Structure 1
Amino acid sequence: MDYAAIETLRDTHPAWRMLRADQAPLLLSFLGRFFVDESRGASPAGQIIDALDDELYVLNSGSPDAPPYPRPAADYLADWAAPEYGYLRRFYPLGSDEIHYDATPALEKAYAWVQSLQSREFVDTESRLQTAIDLLRQIDQGTESDPERRLRELERRKQEIENEIEALRNDPESGLLDRTAVRDRYQQFAATARELLSDFREVEENFRELDRSARERIATWDGSKGELLGELLGGRSRIDSSDQGRSFQAFYDLLLSSSSQEELSNLLERIAAIEELGVDGRMRHVHHSWAEAAERTQETVRRISGQLRRFTDDKIVLENRRVLDLVREIEATALRLRDAGVPSGLGLEFEETGVEINLATERPLHSVRPAAQVDSLLPPAEEEDVDTSLLAEQVIVDPARLAEHLRALIPARGTALLEDIVEMYPVENGVAELITYLALDDDDIEVVTDPEGETVIEYYESERPMRARMPRVEVRRT
């Protein structure tokens, strides 16, 4: 970096401004512990003010006559979130009416730099070298296009694993790390875990900046909707397709994997059980903090998509209103021309009240019907006990027999009443036989009913006297 770039950072970057502030010890110690060390996200203002009050009480109790921080905690918090400082982000989250504060990437960077100034009793050098070598191997293997060289490397690693297995069989303590090596690797893990949380804030800030720029463009845009959507979606696509976007998405997918979460939980619990490490309690659940930070980043992306959707809906309403205004303007113009006495030969006449327009986009898309599956093999019915005697009790009336009775009783061109006929030939099959008389339709027999007349026919059914009341019926021979 050249002189001008460094000078610009000194004057404009919030992290540098934070280090130069008179209140730097207070804000870095309190905010760094509250947000960074305790892995907190956005928190309500009341919760932060209570914690800051306790901090100020401790600091001011050393010199009650001239307290170093005499102002209320809420004033300090408001100053740190002011636009000219930018140490904190101040906002109202969705669904809440209380102000929330969240750390900025500048706070993370300033606090990490101050922490790096402290002298360390133990510097993890071996594990970093091992990690550097492993990364170089992954890059070499991932970019090697010759399959033979890749196979040779895999065979070498396979041989190393077999040697380790054989050594473990001969010596149960073979391959165990000593106390120094374990501390070395744990310190590197803890530093990487904290750096991941810091990186999440920076990624979230990048997406939030895209959200702000999208809102600004929407508020000031006066062109077509398609051009603006293309511009906004292009910016979102550039972030997703960037190295940072692809790396974050790969990390998020790996973190959401159930197998990865289970493995992380088991490993952290086993490492926390090693007493000589002195594992920080927060490290036992650091993967949950990763998931929460990643979810906050995804929530910012969802807000961008929601903003685009609301913009599209608003534009549709405005365009529909514009169409209605144009239609009313055309109708008003037509009425003025009619009242002004424009010749009738001018223009076109429609019998309909309007022109029916069928747009191509209104036609339904082709949908493939699912193949119908027919199973013609019916399952065998279960055996049931059926009373077959009911089949023998069915009443069957023979119309031909009744017609022969009528021909034998009524001469040609003669007429007889139905009650006289049943008196000569008594009813044997109950109502079914009477209905069959009414339904006779032979060539030489005609049945006529008189609704105004009434007759009562008596008969026996199962040796019980029965009576049927029905219209007066005459039977004629033609």
Structure 2
Amino acid sequence: MEIERLITFLESSPTVRLLRADQVAFVVCFLRRTLKLTSEDSAISLSHEELQHQLSVFQEELRDDGYDVFSGSPDRYLREWSDAGWLRRFLPAEASSPHYQLTRYAEDAIGFLENSISRESRMVGTESRLRLVIDTLSDLVRGSSSDRDLRLQTLLNQRDDLNRQIDAIRGGAEIETYHPAQVRERFHTAVDLLKTLQGDFRAVEDRFEEIAREVTRGALDVDRGRGDILSGALDAEDLVKQQDEGVSFDAFVAFLFSPQAQARLRETINEVTRLEAIADQRGAIDHVRAMVPSLLAEAENVLRQTGRLSQTLRRLLDSQSTSHRKRTADVLQDIRTLAARLKQSTSQTETPVPSEIGLQVDTSLGVSSPFARPFWAPAAVFDVSVETNEIDWETAKRQARKLSGLKRLQWDRMRELVHQVTDLQTNIKLSELLEHRPPKVGVIELVGWMQIAHEDGHEIDAEATEQVTVTTDDPLTGTSNTVHIRIPLVTFSKLHQPENETVRKGKPR
């Protein structure tokens, strides 16, 4: 892989950000326990109230176990995890409160940790994976060939092999079975594939959600009609279904939603879980037992996502139709009001009703029939001179690396520091505060401190100034630069600390 691409991924990926988080063990443990499907009673999404309650219980368990972490409110952590890209927050059509589910980035991080830990505690098998590769390649050759003779010869060879095995068993030959190590190896291979399959559904959901966002953005364009919006959405949905992921997902749903296929799969799972060689693998057995309901739940969640796309279309179209109907109703109401006033005025003055009463219709709007066939007209010819524009790829790469290297300000922790320091002393200058917490993001962090002082009512004296020192790291050269900046005198005071200790997120202006 290219170095530039690897650096950009490590600096911007939410998956890597989760693995590098200070409290990654506790975050992953909670997300995996609540939103990873490990039993038939589990759910792949939870409401805000339910997840908030689960997090409160988890915080109490951590405090009982002696861990001094997660001391903030559950709402704060759910908001931060959603902003970081680890939780997906959405509002189902049938619910009145938001729901949460894992994103593909959180799925990747949890899967990576699960695979890494499980590899240390179980055997490293290669024979079953080799057979799986060979069987897959052989099936690929058979299934992609349209040669009738080749397909017939393959089926005859399979029939001969089956006949030899049947004759051997009838003749009293010893039946060959898998060694317990081979059973465990194949079982863990199947479990790993199942976990990977469950995590892959997030990519399909993200694609349909992206289509819904594009449809919503298109509806905000006043120049686009309802027909254009509907056509674009349907074309995008058809394109997803025609791609490899969509074709594979449709085949998966057709197979899994078949009652016969479900019955055979459940019977196979029951037989597998009774094998003595894997009797001690309780966690993996529970995961396999929940295979059918978990896969059905994942598939239904993706189908609900497509349903939400259809609901978005209906809402957009209905909203435009409603606005037209409302406008027509207002015009008709105005006509009734004017007619009533005219009738009242003529009855009171005993004047005859005007003989000519009518409506003034604005005919400036063109009305055309969709079946009209206009005369042919030659296409317009534009004489445009072509200009060559060369792109400096090195400069573009450097700017892209700078953009991907931007870091977010931790508003919650910054406000908590102000609260903690002002509890110890009444007033503190910004330069003194930076001694407790030197800038980690760069010069932009000074703007963040001044933004907090402005929003929370602390003192900012534009007439007086003070000088602060900031050390910045250059990601391109790997060197550190020290700059001296003169800023307005900012004083944080305990008297101006907001009474509500709930941390608010601010944005620099």
Instruction: Name the TM tier (shorter chain).
Output: 0.5 to 0.7
**1:100 has 2:131 as partner:** no
**Residue 282 and residue 144 in structure 1: after superposition, are their counterparts in 2 closer, same or farther (change >3 A)?**
closer
**Residue 313 and residue 166 in structure 1: after superposition, are their counterparts in 2 closer, same or farther (change >3 A)?**
same
Residues 48-197 of structure 1 mapped to structure 2, 5 A cutoff: 48-63=51-66, 67-82=68-83, 85-118=84-117, 119-171=120-172, 173-197=174-198
For residues 233-278 of structure 1, the C-alpha deviation after alignment (integer angstroms, 9 at most, x for no partner) is: 1111110110100000000000011110000111111112223313
| Contact 1:221-1:228 at 8 Å conserved across structures | no
For residues 7-59 of structure 1, the C-alpha deviation after alignment (integer angstroms, 9 at most, x for no partner) is: 22223221111112112111112212322252631112333233333333333
Instruction: Give % identity.
Output: 26
Per-residue deviation, 1:123: 2.3
Per-residue deviation, 1:168: 2.0
Q: Matched residues in 1 for 2:183 and 2:362: separation?
A: 85
**Residue 154 and residue 214 in structure 1: after superposition, are their counterparts in 2 closer, same or farther (change >3 A)?**
same
The match for 2:442 is: none
The match for 2:307 is: 302
Per-residue deviation, 1:87: 0.9
For residues 351-404 of structure 1, the C-alpha deviation after alignment (integer angstroms, 9 at most, x for no partner) is: xxxxxxxxxxxxxxxxxxxxxxxxxxxxxxxxxxxxxxxxxxxxxxxxxxxxxx
Residues 279-290 of structure 1 mapped to structure 2, 5 A cutoff: 280-290=285-295
Per-residue deviation, 1:75: 2.6
Q: Matched residues in 1 for 2:3 and 2:243: separation?
A: 29
| Contact 1:19-1:110 at 8 Å conserved across structures | yes
The match for 2:370 is: none
Per-residue deviation, 1:314: 3.6
**Residue 330 and residue 71 in structure 1: after superposition, are their counterparts in 2 closer, same or farther (change >3 A)?**
closer
Q: Matched residues in 1 for 2:48 and 2:363: separation?
A: 58
Residues 10-409 of structure 1 mapped to structure 2, 5 A cutoff: 10-36=10-36, 38=38, 40-63=43-66, 67-82=68-83, 85-118=84-117, 119-171=120-172, 173-278=174-279, 280-318=285-323, 329-330=360-361
Per-residue deviation, 1:159: 1.1
Q: Matched residues in 1 for 2:115 and 2:287: separation?
A: 20
The match for 1:399 is: none
Per-residue deviation, 1:209: 1.8
SS of the residue 1:280 aligns to: helix
For residues 186-240 of structure 1, the C-alpha deviation after alignment (integer angstroms, 9 at most, x for no partner) is: 1111111111111112211221221122122213342233233222211111101
SS of the residue 2:88 aligns to: strand
Q: Matched residues in 1 for 2:175 and 2:90: separation?
A: 56
- For 1:108, give the aligned amino acid: E
Q: Matched residues in 1 for 2:43 and 2:190: separation?
A: 19
SS of the residue 1:330 aligns to: coil
| Contact 1:204-1:297 at 8 Å conserved across structures | yes
RCO comparison, higher one (Cα < 8 Å, 6+): 2
**Residue 164 and residue 44 in structure 1: after superposition, are their counterparts in 2 closer, same or farther (change >3 A)?**
same
Q: Matched residues in 2 for 1:130 and 1:98: separation?
A: 48
| Contact 2:218-2:224 at 8 Å conserved across structures | no
The match for 2:340 is: none
- For 1:29, give the aligned amino acid: C
For residues 280-313 of structure 1, the C-alpha deviation after alignment (integer angstroms, 9 at most, x for no partner) is: 2232131111011101100111121222233333
Q: Matched residues in 1 for 2:30 and 2:363: separation?
A: 70
| Contact 1:168-1:175 at 8 Å conserved across structures | no
SS of the residue 1:68 aligns to: coil
- For 1:42, give the aligned amino acid: S
**Residue 172 and residue 315 in structure 1: after superposition, are their counterparts in 2 closer, same or farther (change >3 A)?**
farther
Q: Matched residues in 2 for 1:149 and 1:332: separation?
A: 72
SS of the residue 1:220 aligns to: coil
- For 2:101, give the aligned amino acid: D
**Residue 147 and residue 273 in structure 1: after superposition, are their counterparts in 2 closer, same or farther (change >3 A)?**
same
Runs of 5+ in structure 1 lacking a partner? 334-478
SS of the residue 1:306 aligns to: helix
Q: Matched residues in 1 for 2:13 and 2:85: separation?
A: 9
SS of the residue 1:5 aligns to: helix
**Residue 123 and residue 295 in structure 1: after superposition, are their counterparts in 2 closer, same or farther (change >3 A)?**
same
SS of the residue 1:158 aligns to: helix
TM-score (normalizing by structure 1): 0.63
**Residue 276 and residue 302 in structure 1: after superposition, are their counterparts in 2 closer, same or farther (change >3 A)?**
same
- For 2:53, give the aligned amino acid: D
SS of the residue 1:93 aligns to: coil
| Contact 2:191-2:287 at 8 Å conserved across structures | no
The match for 2:369 is: none
Q: How many residue pairs align between the two structures?
A: 329
TM-score (normalizing by structure 2): 0.60
Q: Matched residues in 2 for 1:288 and 1:107: separation?
A: 21
Q: Matched residues in 1 for 2:75 and 2:321: separation?
A: 44
**Residue 301 and residue 15 in structure 1: after superposition, are their counterparts in 2 closer, same or farther (change >3 A)?**
same
Q: Matched residues in 1 for 2:113 and 2:78: separation?
A: 21
CA RMSD in angstroms comes to 2.6
Q: Matched residues in 2 for 1:170 and 1:197: separation?
A: 45
- For 2:12, give the aligned amino acid: T
| Contact 2:35-2:46 at 8 Å conserved across structures | no
Per-residue deviation, 1:325: 9.9
SS of the residue 1:117 aligns to: helix
